[in-house]
Every structure is written in structure tokens, then in C-alpha cells.
Amino acid sequence: MPATVRIYSPNDRATLNAVLQTPAIVEQFDMYAGENGVERMLGDPYTPADGVRLAFVDGEPAGFACAIVLPAASPWAMLRGGVLPRFQRRGIARALHEEVSAFVRAQTRVPGVASQLIAAWEPLDAATAMAERLGYRHDRWFWLMQRYRSGAPPEPAWPEDVTVRTFDGSDAMLADWNAAYNDSFADHYRFVRSPIENTRKQAAKPGFRADGLLLAYRDGQVAGFCRNELFAGRGEIGTLGTVRAARGIGLGRALLRWGVGWLERACELPVTLLVDGENDGALSLYRSEGFEVTRTRRLWAQPVTPV
């Protein structure tokens, strides 16, 4: 039977979540594992529900795809998706890709999308072959790093002029978190500046832990932050940043140690983080704190041709 692809609707929630929980999909997208996988996906302010697609073969769910549309200085989109193993090699992945690519070209919420990306964890043979067939070219490597538990992690050594506060949900701290993120990552790979509305949505996502977000202050101004996440199979230091005016004083290392300690107290899962393979400063810090590379994720990109 040929596959059919349709736009996701709220009535498809159970079907999509079942697809997201299959082992082959979890292996690539463990951030969607668990009972609230759909809510985690659609809670991302850059992942519109009308950009999600489901594939079926003879009425049976066969795969999914979604488009994350990012309003950077040069707007771009990340396409995610997967096909259940028993339905692979039937052209379903290509059909899903065509659907979400068409959505990216036609949508108007982020005009002028210039490029779109796909990604996969190693081993890469099948993914590389598909990326090349679709006209993608290598764009970046990312590494998943893990710190193996070895008793109590080191305590943070906070710089003398720094104070820290756990996120309290207030508008003031929400604004500080947003400002720290924008300053910390302004010169990073494919940076997307965050409006306060999107940071508010991040704080409302399923699984968000207010006690897992710490903000650091220096001279009365926000200087950095660490936000932790708990997935079904691992804990992650999801985002760690120091503003440019507060670098070189040991704040990043102190925030990292706080994050490791929080994760080890919060769960028995592996303590991980994801890092840009070309961020030498971060890699050096993480390695010096006992993190080792355990997986490699490759990103490919291609230009988007306007409609």
C-alpha cells in the first residue's frame, strides 16, 4: 500500500505520541520520550502544530515529521522526523521531508527562511546517504557528553562578587533569564534571539523545573544562568550561559558544577550535555570537569528556495 501523509490535528495526539515512543524514534529524539512527548514537542515556541505531519500505511501509523522554524538574523528551519523500521525503504521519509519542506516555504510566521537543516546521531551511513540524495551538505558536528558519577560532585566556587538565585517565576527573573540568554549566545552558531514571550513559553513547557534554573548576578545585573532538564533516559544541562561582561572569572565553571549537583540529586539518570563541536572553550571546560564525548550528532543544511 502507498503511504499517505496528513497534517497533524489534536485528535491525532495519541497516535503521534505512540510513534514518538517507538525505540527507533526515541533513539534519535529522546527529548520526546515519555507520556508528554507531544506536549514537549509542541511546547517549543518555534514548533508550530500545523508544521507537524503523520504518515500512514493502510491506516497504520508509519512515521512523523515536524518543522522548527527559527527567526534568526538569517532565518532557518530544523526538520525532524523518523519512519518506523518496518516501513522504511518505501519512500516515506522522502514524502515526509517534501511535506515539511513545503510547509517551511509556504508559512508566513517567519518570512524569508534561507536554509533548512536535518540531523542524525551516529552511526550515519543511512542518514548520510539520504541527506546526499536530498541535496544537503555537511554543516556542523555536535557532541553529547556525559559525566560519570564518582561520589559527590565538586561544589561550586562562586566568584566573590556573584550572588545566585533560583528562578521564582516572576516577570523580573524571566526578563533576566531572557537577557542573559541573548547576551550569552549572541555570537554562537545559528543564534536565534529570544523575545520575552518565547522565554515565557519555555517556562510553561511540560517538564520545566523552576528549581532547576539558577541565575547568577554581579553588580546588580544578571551575569549568567544554568537550566537543567530531565528526560526519560537522562538528565541534561540544557543551557548554560555567561554574559560577555562576566567571562573569565570562573562563573561558567561554578554554574556547571551547580548543574551537575542538581541533576545528581534530582535523578539517578546519566548526567549529560550537548555541545557545539567547534566551541573549543566550552569543550575544554566540560572535559576538565569530567565530561566525556559519548555520541556524535551531525547536521546537514541546504538552501530554501522561495515559493
| Matching fold, domains 3-141+299-303 and 149-289 | yes
Mean pLDDT along residues 113-120: 97
Let me know: does 53 contact 96? Beta carbons within 8 Å: yes
pLDDT digits (tens, 9 = 90+) for 12-51: 999 999 999 999 999 999 999 999 999 999 999 999 999 9
Domain ranges (residues) in the chain: 3-141+299-303, 149-289
What pLDDT sits at residue 153?
86
Does residue 1 surpass a pLDDT of 70?
Answer: no
Q: DSSP character for 165?
A: E
Cα dihedral sign, 149-278-78-204: positive
3-141+299-303 placed in CATH 3.90.480.20:
no
pLDDT above 90: residue 233: yes
Q: What's residue 26's pLDDT?
A: 95
pLDDT tens digits along 165-197: 999 999 999 999 999 999 999 999 999 999 999
The DSSP secondary structure of 72-127, one letter per residue, reads -SS-EEEEEEEE-GGG-SSSHHHHHHHHHHHHHHH--SSTT--EEEEEEESP-HHH
Q: Give, in order, the Cα–Cα distances in Å from 128 to each of 18, 134, 262, 291.
A: 27, 10, 37, 27
CA distance 211 to 21: 27
pLDDT of residue 307: 67
CATH placement of domain 149-289: 3.40.630.30
Left (φ > 0), alpha (ψ -120 to 50) or beta: where does 306 sit? beta
Q: Which residue has the cell 545528581?
A: 264
